[in-house]
Amino acid sequence: MIGKILRRLIFIVIIALFIAIVSLLVSTQITGTNQFEVIRTAVEHVINPKTEGTAKEVKPIEVEYTDNSLLTLQNSATFTLKTKTELKPSENTKYEFFLSQKPNQDNPFYWYVVKVNNIGVGDFNQKIRLEDVNTAAGDINISGSRQAFNLPFGLSEIGDWENFSYTADGDSLLALVDKQNKLPLDYAPKNLVDVNKDLLLYTNSSEPILITTEAGDALRLMAKDAQTQLSKNLVIASGYRSYNDQYKTYASWVRQLGQEEADKVSARPGFSEHQLGTVVDFVDEETGFDLTNDFENGALGRWLIDNAYKYGYVQSYPTNKETETGYLHEAWHWRYVGIENAKQHKESGLTLNQWLNQKRSS
């Protein structure tokens, strides 16, 4: 009789434990906080209540980041954060830290890209806890909003390429942006000028086309010399594109071609060189102002292949280099890297992304 009651009791205890564990797991999923960790800390505190009193003195952490509110179209948002010391990885699943570059002679900072996850449509505020590998700590607050955006049928989110790294310093002329290297959402170049209004160059877009002042000055000189030598005008069809503009551009390609084909001709958001503000797409009258590889069979296209490097411009997606660059040939797409870099790149015989990779690791 007693044995029967005992067995029942054990059975009830097992069921109760099972229910407790399942609810903790569910709650961990929903809230994003590890409930087991919360319990462990609480138990630890009861066993050893002095832990807090004996904690090391915590210094405030030194950080730099731009506190502009993030506007995102997807369920995550990324921004650049610079710290004087190395950060511990985030223990919170709501945000992650990705180290982009370590300090060197020219830069005293660790550059991180912080990714805020699980953002719902509407406004958001996220407190981010920073702790470094020494004893500094602190919180920063990030706010922003997510706009509703309808993706093409069958796509719930635009995913990243596998095994990519973040490029935090988009201001560098040597910033590497390809299918393995991604700019954060908040990266936007400073000092942008209007190619048509400020530089007085020909464009064929109803929207203003923007480019950085440095790349723009070189572009103006190049277009002027091409005009003098050939009596033909380079026409600019596209320039700077923000992360969110690229998101929309890529989505519209997927809508037209499906994702597999779209990936050959359009970059996913963050993976586009156009976000750097140092890139232009050219068209000309001879080829009906279309983005076409026929462009390089005409006088202007041939002239660029022979001369663009003298002005600091490089072709990012040359012919027959799809495996290396990840994209089909684009005769119209040119990027400014500075005259010295463009010369070195030309001598190397490598694709731009290969050369930048080599340059970074040397």
d(CA 222, CA 324): 28
241 near Zn ion (CB under 5 A): no
* 100 or 275: CB nearest Zn ion: 275
* 61 or 280: CB nearest Zn ion: 280
* 238 or 341: CB nearest Zn ion: 238
Selected range binding Zn ion among 29-37, 172-180, 274-282, 351-359, rule: CB under 5 A: 274-282
Selected range binding Zn ion among 102-110, 246-254, 325-333, 338-346, rule: CB under 5 A: 325-333
333 near Zn ion (CB under 5 A): yes
Q: How far is the CB of 238 from Zn ion (least distance, A)?
A: 6
Q: How far is the CB of 79 from Zn ion (least distance, A)?
A: 25
Selected range binding Zn ion among 58-66, 170-178, 276-284, 334-342, rule: CB under 5 A: 276-284
d(CA 358, CA 81): 26
Q: How far is the CB of 240 from Zn ion (least distance, A)?
A: 11
Selected range binding Zn ion among 41-49, 104-112, 295-303, 329-337, rule: CB under 5 A: 329-337
Query: Between residue 121 and residue 180, which ones bind Zn ion under the rule CB under 5 A?
Result: none
Selected range binding Zn ion among 39-47, 126-134, 162-170, 328-336, rule: CB under 5 A: 328-336
Residue 124 main-chain phi, psi, to 5 deg? -140, 150
* 144 or 170: CB nearest Zn ion: 170
Q: How far is the CB of 70 from Zn ion (least distance, A)?
A: 25
* 178 or 281: CB nearest Zn ion: 281
The tokens describing 341, both together, are 């870099």
> Of residues 178, 281, 284, 296, which one binds Zn ion by CB under 5 A?
281
- Cα(first)–Cα(last) distance of the chain, in Å? 80
Selected range binding Zn ion among 52-60, 241-249, 273-281, 343-351, rule: CB under 5 A: 273-281
Residue 130 burial (CB count, 10 A): 22
Q: How far is the CB of 76 from Zn ion (least distance, A)?
A: 25
Binding-residue total with Zn ion (CB under 5 A)? 2
d(CA 221, CA 253): 33
* 83 or 266: CB nearest Zn ion: 266
Q: How far is the CB of 137 from Zn ion (least distance, A)?
A: 43
d(CA 185, CA 238): 20
The tokens describing 327, both together, are 């994209």
d(CA 311, CA 220): 10
Measured at CB, which residue is nearest to Zn ion?
A: 333
Residue 308 burial (CB count, 10 A): 22
Q: Which residue has the tokens 């969110």?
A: 244
Q: How far is the CB of 277 from Zn ion (least distance, A)?
A: 12
Residues 97, 112: contact at Cβ < 8 Å? yes
* 112 or 250: CB nearest Zn ion: 250
Q: How far is the CB of 317 from Zn ion (least distance, A)?
A: 8
Q: How far is the CB of 59 from Zn ion (least distance, A)?
A: 46
Binding residues vs Zn ion (CB under 5 A): 281, 333
